[in-house]
């Protein structure tokens, strides 16, 4: 049973805390869920489904997958899994990944691909009659994004648990924002969630991967560093910033 799992307990606690603390989900919500096929989004979908059996708040889930166009793809397998769970996966077949990795855009293919996919996710969320789009970003993603923006964009910023777009017409929610990547990975393994390989040629060599490696070295040197970085994003002393 999932409730006996330490990984389940950890993710369930932090997910519930994030949803409550940031007022992410209301009764009757229609939630679009962006799936990538990776462990984070698959675990998010599983958790949002599992908790429906034991909470008074009811909502409906509408999974979406933006196929970037790489071969071999896994759209059919992902759709089959969703169908077994009682969901109709909306698949959008695109060439976003191929275009983004074209010779004219070698400097930052990940940025363009992400922007194109995000734009289409917003459009499909609206088409499905959903006001909220749930994404699988977790605590480690927020920390890594902070350093990516400092190093490569020259600004101090990161993802936020809830973010409004189009004058509040659509909100991005990140229920895993307080959850550790390690616990999410353990949960995905314990629940035998299908994890699909990314065929993108940039997979594993991105700037985010470099930042993750640097942070892991710091975490190994002092186990308090990760928590301190995350807390620092909630305690900004503007008097000591330029």
Within 153-203, residue ranges assigned H as helices are 181-190
Task: Give SS3 for 184.
Answer: helix
Q: How far apart are CA 145 and CA 142, in angstroms?
A: 5
User: What's the angle, vertex CA 173, arms to CA 172 and CA 174, rounded to 5?
Assistant: 125
Q: How far apart are CA 102 and CA 47, in angstroms?
A: 37
Q: What percent of the chain has pLDDT over 70?
A: 95
Domain range enclosing 199 = 2-240
Q: What percent of the chain has pLDDT over 90?
A: 82
Q: How far apart are CA 142 and CA 146, in angstroms?
A: 6
Lowest mean pLDDT among 73-87, 197-211, 218-232: 197-211
The model's pLDDT over 8-50, given as tens digits with 9 standing for 90+, comes to 999 999 999 999 999 999 999 999 999 999 999 999 999 999 9
Question: What backbone torsions phi and psi does residue 157 show, to the nearest 5 degrees?
Answer: -160, 165
| Summary mean pLDDT of the chain | 93
Residue 144, domain CATH: 3.40.50.620
pTM metric for this prediction: 0.93
User: Residue 162: its pLDDT value, please?
Assistant: 98
Q: How far apart are CA 174 and CA 84, in angstroms?
A: 25
The tally of domains found in the chain comes to 1
């Amino acid at each position: 049973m999932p409730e006996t799992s330490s990984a389940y307990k950890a993710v369930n606690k932090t997910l519930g805390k994030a949803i409550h603390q940031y007022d992410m989900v209301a009764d009757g919500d229609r939630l679009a869920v962006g799936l990538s096929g990776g462990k984070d989004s698959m675990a998010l979908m599983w958790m949002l489904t599992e908790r429906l059996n034991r909470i008074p708040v009811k909502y409906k889930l509408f999974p979406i997958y933006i196929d970037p166009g790489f071969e071999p793809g896994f759209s059919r397998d992902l759709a089959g899994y969703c169908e077994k769970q009682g969901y109709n996966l909306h698949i959008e077949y695109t060439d976003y990944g191929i275009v983004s990795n074209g010779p004219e855009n070698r400097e930052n293919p990940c940025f363009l691909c992400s922007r194109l996919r995000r734009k289409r996710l917003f459009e499909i969320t609206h088409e499905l009659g959903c006001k909220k789009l749930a994404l699988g970003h977790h605590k480690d993603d927020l920390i890594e994004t902070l350093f990516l923006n400092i190093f490569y964009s020259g600004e101090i910023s990161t993802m936020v648990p809830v973010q409004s777009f189009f004058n509040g017409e659509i909100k991005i929610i990140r229920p895993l924002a307080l959850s550790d990547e390690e616990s999410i990975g353990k949960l995905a393994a314990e629940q035998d969630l299908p994890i699909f390989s990314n065929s993108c040629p940039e997979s594993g060599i991105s700037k985010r991967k470099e930042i993750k490696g640097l942070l892991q070295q710091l975490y190994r040197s002092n186990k308090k560093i990760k928590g301190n970085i995350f807390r620092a994003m909630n305690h900004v002393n503007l008097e000591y910033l330029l």
